[in-house]
Amino acid sequence: MQEKILIHTPDERHKMPKEDCILIIDDEEGMRDSCCQALSKEGYFLETAGDGDTGWQKIREKGPDIVLVDLKIPGISGMELLEKTREYDPSIISVVITGYASIESAVEAMRRNAYDFLPKPFTPEQLRIIVKRGLERRRLSIEAMRLRREKKKMREYFITLVSHQLRSPLITILQTFEVILEGFGGKVAGEQKGMMEEVKLRIEELLQLINDWLNMSHMDTGNLIERFEEVKLEPIISKSIELLQPLARKKEIVIKAELDGLPLIIGHKEALKQAFVNIISNGINYNRQGGTMTIRGKAEEDYVVVDISDTGIGISEENLPFIFEEFFRVKNKETQGITGSGLGLSIAKRLIEAHHGNIKVASKAGCGTTFSLFLPKKIGGR
């Protein structure tokens, strides 16, 4: 007796528990029947199509877990179906079944997101193994997407919590301390004033940490790229230096800039300014009293290279690999009085990499530090 093949109508499928759906697209009726026969014992929901157009329609209507597709079919070709399926739902597993197997076709199919390549003729057991592997891959893919969504929700919730439940009260507390220290609530005695100024300083540091973390959390590379334009680096670096001059004057640090004639780049002005501010402020904070900073720009093959050098305390060899990690700060006697969030360099690195650039650092303990920022030139720019 011929074994009954489990192909259900859509109405029947809605009434039964969720099954893994396998769609077989092949212009040979015998091949479609053979595949259904091989998979029927596994309890899958089986759908078939004899041409690419019908197959594409069923992909959109049924949302299959796995598509078995022949490359040589009427209508939409097998290769085109692979591409369209990837764009429609990249979690759908596509397996190519073909009698025209070649290295070139296999490579092209994999490039178009095919999970596997099964040359004809194949045995029922080979088909069942590939389908089982494909379904496991799809389950892992769907679970990974679910976890990413959950992570995004948790991140958004935490950002909201930090912004409103932590940052806002701290700002109110800071403003209250400023009012008291100004004497609006009555005269503050010398010792009390010193203690309150110390508390105010710690609140400012905490707010800076929160602001840096929020900046990193809101950083979206895709949004930056959408707003790229032609950029001249000279005015961006000059503005960054200008913003940091008060900090430099406190430590009597002289900042020298040699930036004339730099080629144009493609980038985001505000993001680049943030990166330069972070690097330059780092060079000021870890410099010596009365030291210098030198900022030089030059064209080098396909890049504009900006070297930011300081005469500061430098970075030891064991700490050098970690300086771009979030919240990492060098801890020794020379850095005890230096405040910061440990996020500035990490943010700068991410911003430069969003511009398809890179940051390199050269340093020795006690001998200063040089950060080299590599940013791609605008193609065709001077």
Residue 354 lies inside a defined structural domain of this protein: yes
Q: Is the pLDDT of residue 15 over 50?
A: no
Instruction: Provide the domain limits for residue 182.
Output: 147-217
pLDDT at residue 9, rounded to an integer: 40
Q: Are residues 226 and 210 in the same domain?
A: no
**How many domains does the chain fold into?**
3
Chosen domain end from 187, 217, 247: 217
pLDDT at residue 3, rounded to an integer: 34
Q: Which CATH number goes with the domain that contains 76?
A: 3.40.50.2300
Chosen domain end from 171, 193, 217: 217
Q: Are residues 205 and 239 in the same domain?
A: no
Residue 130 lies inside a defined structural domain of this protein: no
Helix residue spans in the chain (DSSP H): 10-15, 29-39, 52-62, 78-88, 103-111, 124-160, 168-181, 190-217, 221-226, 233-250, 269-285, 344-354
Residue 184 lies inside a defined structural domain of this protein: yes
Q: Are residues 257 and 332 in the same domain?
A: yes
pLDDT at residue 220, rounded to an integer: 60
The model's pTM is 0.53
Q: Are residues 235 and 314 in the same domain?
A: yes
Q: Are residues 210 and 230 in the same domain?
A: no
Q: Are residues 273 and 345 in the same domain?
A: yes
pLDDT at residue 332, rounded to an integer: 66
pLDDT classification of 7: cutoffs 50, 70, 90 = very low
Q: Which CATH number goes with the domain that contains 260?
A: 3.30.565.10
Residue 204 lies inside a defined structural domain of this protein: yes
Q: Residue for token digits 């499928």?
A: 13
pLDDT tens digit sequence for 342-363: 788 988 998 999 899 999 999 9
Nearest one of 354, 360, 371, 359 to 266, comparing CA atoms? 354
Q: Are residues 99 and 159 in the same domain?
A: no
Residue 174 lies inside a defined structural domain of this protein: yes
Q: Per this entry, what is the length of the chain?
A: 382
Mean pLDDT of 75-101: 90
Residue 129 lies inside a defined structural domain of this protein: no
Q: Are residues 184 and 279 in the same domain?
A: no
Chosen domain end from 122, 138, 173: 122
pLDDT at residue 380, rounded to an integer: 63
Q: Are residues 335 and 237 in the same domain?
A: yes
DSSP characters for 186-240?
A: S---HHHHHHHHHHHHHHHHHHHHHHHHHHHHT--HHHHHHT-EEE-HHHHHHHH
* Beta bridge pairs of residue 23: 47, 67
pLDDT at residue 8, rounded to an integer: 41
pLDDT at residue 328, rounded to an integer: 78
Nearest one of 112, 12, 127 to 66, comparing CA atoms? 127
Secondary structure of residue 130 in the 3-state scheme: helix
Residue 138 lies inside a defined structural domain of this protein: no
Q: Are residues 230 and 160 in the same domain?
A: no
**113's tokens:** 């997101």
Residue 182 lies inside a defined structural domain of this protein: yes
pLDDT at residue 10, rounded to an integer: 41
Terminal CA-CA length for the chain = 79
Looking at per-residue pLDDT, the higher value among 70 and 214 belongs to 70
pLDDT tens digit sequence for 319-345: 888 888 877 777 666 666 666 667 889
Contact in structure between 255 and 248 (CB atoms under 8 Å): yes
- Which of 82-86, 150-154, 212-216, 377-381 has the weakest average pLDDT? 212-216
CA atoms of 82 and 60, how far apart (whole Å):
13
pLDDT classification of 382: cutoffs 50, 70, 90 = low
Q: Are residues 322 and 198 in the same domain?
A: no
Looking at per-residue pLDDT, the higher value among 190 and 353 belongs to 353
Q: Are residues 247 and 363 in the same domain?
A: yes
pLDDT tens digit sequence for 254-294: 999 998 889 999 998 988 998 999 999 999 999 999 999 99
